[in-house]
Chains A and B, each alone.
Chain A
Amino acid sequence: MAGLELRGIRKDYGATAVLKGIDLSIADGEFVVFVGPSGCGKSTLLRVIAGLETVTAGDIHIDGTEVTRLAASDRGLAMVFQSYALYPHMTVHQNMSFALENMGIAKAEISARVDRAARMLRLTDYLQRKPAALSGGQRQRVAIGRAIVRDPKIFLFDEPLSNLDAELRVATRKELAALHAEIGGTMIYVTHDQVEAMTLADRIVVLNGGRIEQIGTPLDLYNRPANLFVAGFIGSPRMNLLPTELVKGEAAGTAATLGIRPEHVEPCQEAEADLTVRIELVEQLGGETFLYTTGPNDVPLTIRCDGQSRLARGDVLPVRFSRDHLHRFDAAGLACRPEPLLARSPS
């Protein structure tokens, strides 16, 4: 187990810059999740940490030791691949013990460790099978088992659940959380899935276009997105972003954006309404309802209500914004804090 420190990491493939200066410090035992849109460089960053890619600039420290030039096999990290990358010609047991053999560990110790990991992951009955004879979920657990037996300094996961069906994903996600609680290793986890990020992470790193947009605990990111990108990226359905204009203060007259999450838009009496919207689509999920509406100037606005709703397409609805939950962004897209005096609703 160990901490990790990245300083000014840049990675170019030929002329294209994929990572454009990443600074990040991860504490020992922390569970950090990288999220970001497809192609933003999450996998590349993970592979750079793993040592599978060389960096163009910057340096990497594990536990205070510089490892930038060290080969992957010498860094002492373990990785779970999206494709699992199980060795197809080896049994589950051999798959898990391969790394230990490479490290020159004694046979008895290897068996003990593999058995322990297999018990933890409910793989004991499958140890003599080859990967081709396992289900997707079992393969996934073998891939994790292969990492666990190593007792590595850091676990790296690249979208490990993306090949599982929805139900299995939820189950495995919980197991992963339990696993982290149990063995407490430092884990770096790449995902597309917000729920995975929110539920698993101690801290989330939001990447975009090769840069870090924001680092913080899941609720930090949710409650105080640092910029428009994070505001739009975290949370589902997305935060409503309404174009406005500043009316007071120094920057009066410049464009700005007002953000409000769907659950913070409330239907209300006509008198106290900020806006009146027309309902375009109603999604009834049973426990909650999403209303997709348009306001003045066809500005879209999503509303989340608890429980079920009788509203229907075409209905007109006065709504108000919860004043405590307004997010304000300046013309550059950065969150305004402390909040400058803000505008009226879109006109």
Chain B
Amino acid sequence: MTDTIRSHGAPARGPSAAAAVTTGSANALMRLTDPPMRAVQRLIGALRMPYVFLLPNLVFFGLFVFLPIGINIVFSVTGGTALFPSERPYVGAEHYARLLDCGSYLEAASCREDLFWRGVGNTLTFTVFQMVAMVLFSLVTALVLNRPIRGRGFFRAVYFFPVLLSPVVVALIWKWILQRDGLLNAVLTTAGGEKILFFVDPGWAMFWAVFVSVWAHMGFYTLILLAGLQAIPRDVYEAAEMDGTRPWRVFHRITLPLLWPNLLVVLVLVLIRSVQVFDEVFVLTGGGPGTATMMVVQYIYTTAFANQVQNFGLAGAASVLLGAVLFVLTLIQLFLTRRRAS
């Protein structure tokens, strides 16, 4: 989105020691790269140099994004177990038909590829609960952090730091707490309750999948919302106070509307990331119990890689469908951010 830190002096805000090291090695690199690049410029002329600068990145994009998209589409309409497209027989829309072949779309069991539909159902459930919880908690946290409390920086850091953790680490931390003889069950039994086998009960497993995701990522969204809150000028509140507006009404009529653009961005980002969720949930529950927390991406991953028979065609078709959904969501996001920027 928009503006970063703007100071074109020495990189004062950056870690200066690291910057010094980088400049040092950059200078050495310069001595190495300058003569050949100068020769290139002499050869093709200064006006064509932008293509040279663009080239490496485009090669990477081409090899690892554009080409794979094409291959993926080819995969989705070809069969067999071969990886190389030319060795795969054309099967038309068979994979799509198989994925979409359902007695009733409300009943995963009635579908030919019931695992896919279970994944879709789980992802939907996950997405809905996670969106509500994420927005609610990050909004409340942002509102609280926006008050001039003592140690605001510390508290902001506290909520933020799990964002940086590896999903695997996050999942293991919670797995350790939620296991049968874990901390939570110890607390429960000490309080006179019964042990609960959280990962054996489908409902609990989904609850913790959502909980852990919110735990890990809410700091990020809190930051975005906090930035939005801090951009609301103070005198707006003071004016409202002079008018004798009641607190709830101020929140409803001033804070919320002015924060709305940020809130919208958060909503869409959470949505996009929920639809793609995999890592944390996979390590936390393994998709279980049974298939209770198996998400669409896990379905794609298993179908293509983890199953005995690697079915790239089916996985390809499923990812094309997922890609279509993400495409629409991202368009919405771009539209919203552009509107916010202007």
A residues in contact (CB < 8 Å) with B: 71, 73, 88-89, 130, 132
10 further contact pairs, Cβ within 8 A, besides A71-B45, A88-B9, A88-B10: A71-B46, A71-B47, A73-B46, A88-B8, A89-B8, A89-B9, A89-B10, A130-B9, A130-B10, A132-B9
Q: Bound state CA distance, A88 and B47, in angstroms? A: 26
Inter-chain residue pair count (beta carbon < 8 A):
13
Q: What would 6 A/B residue contacts be, using CB atoms closer than 8 Å?
A: A71-B45, A73-B46, A88-B8, A88-B9, A130-B9, A132-B9
* A-B pairs, 10 with minimum CB distance: A71-B46, A88-B9, A88-B8, A132-B9, A89-B10, A130-B10, A89-B9, A73-B46, A130-B9, A71-B45
**B169: min CB distance to chain A, Å:** 38
A71 to B10, CA, bound (A): 30
Smallest CB separation, A99 vs chain B (Å): 15
Note all chain A residues with C-beta closer than 8 A to B46: 71, 73
In the complex, which range does the number of interface residues on chain B fall in?
Answer: under 10
Alpha-carbon distance A89/B22, docked complex (angstroms): 14
* Residues in A whose Cβ lies below 8 Å from that of B47: 71
- Shortest CB-to-CB span from A123 to chain B, Å, is 20
**Interface of B (DSSP majority class):** loop
Chain A residues, CB < 8 A from B9 = 88-89, 130, 132
Bound state CA distance, A88 and B9, in angstroms?
5
Please provide the chain B residues from 1 to 43 with a CB less than 8 Å away from any CB of chain A in the complex. 8-10
B290 CB, min distance to chain A CBs, angstroms:
60
Q: How far is the CA of A71 from the CA of B46 in the complex (A)?
A: 7
Q: Which residues of A contact B45 (CB under 8 A)?
A: 71
A70 (CB) vs chain B CBs: closest residue: B46
CB distance from A85 to the nearest CB of B (A): 12
B9 to chain A, nearest CB (A): 5
Shortest Cβ gap from B39 to chain A (Å): 13
A73: chain B residues within 8 A (beta carbon): 46
What's the Cα separation between A88 and B8 when bound, in Å? 7
CB-nearest residue of chain A relative to B10? Answer: A89
Closest to B42 in A: A74
CB distance from A161 to the nearest CB of B (A): 24
Return B334 CB to nearest CB of chain A, in Å. Answer: 28
- In the complex, what distance in Å separates the CA atom of A183 from the CA atom of B8? 34
**CB within 8 Å of A: which B35-64 residues:** 45-47
Complex Cα spacing A132 to B8, Å:
10
A89 proximity list for chain B (CB < 8 A): 8-10
Which A residues are in CB contact (< 8 Å) with B8?
Answer: 88-89
Chain B residue, CB-CB nearest to A90 = B10
Q: Mark B264-304, 1 if CB is under 8 A from A, else 0.
A: 00000000000000000000000000000000000000000
| Closest beta carbon of chain B to A247's beta carbon, Å | 61
Complex-state Cα separation, A71 to B41, whole angstroms: 11
Complex alpha-carbon distance, A217 and B10, angstroms? 46
A51's nearest neighbour on chain B, judged by CB, is B46
Which residue on A lies nearest to B46, using beta carbons? A71
Which of chain B's residues have a CB closer than 8 A to the CB of A132? 9
Cα(A132)–Cα(B47), bound, Å: 32
Residue of A whose beta carbon sits closest to that of B49: A71
A132 to B46, CA, bound (A): 31
B338 to chain A, nearest CB (A): 25
Closest B residue by C-beta to A132: B9
**A334 to chain B: closest CB distance in Å?**
42
**Chain B contacts for A71, CB-based, 8 A:** 45-47
Closest CB-CB distance, B31 to chain A, in whole Å? 11
**Min distance, Cβ A61 to any Cβ of chain B, angstroms:** 20
Measured CB to CB, the closest approach of chain B to A88, in angstroms, equals 5
Q: How far apart sit A130 and B8, CA to CA, in the bound complex (Å)?
A: 12
Q: A134 to chain B: closest CB distance in Å?
A: 13
How far, in whole Å, are A96 and B288 apart by their CA atoms in the complex? 67
Cα of A235 to Cα of B46 in the assembled complex, Å: 44
Q: How far is the CB of B20 from chain A (nearest CB, A)?
A: 12
Shortest beta-carbon distance from A37 to chain B in Å = 32
Task: Note all chain A residues with C-beta closer than 8 A to B10.
Answer: 88-89, 130
Q: Which residues of B contact A88 (CB under 8 A)?
A: 8-10
* B11, closest chain A residue (CB): A89
Q: How far is the CA of A132 from the CA of B45 in the complex (A)?
A: 34
CA distance A73 to B47 in the complex (A): 12
Q: Give the docked Cα–Cα distance between A89 and B47 (Å).
A: 26
Considering the complex, give the chain B residue whose CB is closest to the CB of A72.
Answer: B46
Nearest CB of A to B287, in Å: 52
Chain B residue nearest to A89 (CB atoms) is B10
A89–B45 CA distance with the chains assembled, in angstroms: 28
Q: Which of B58-116 contact A (CB under 8 A)?
A: none
* Chain A minimum-CB-distance residue to B34: A102
Bound-complex Cα distance A130 to B9 (A): 9
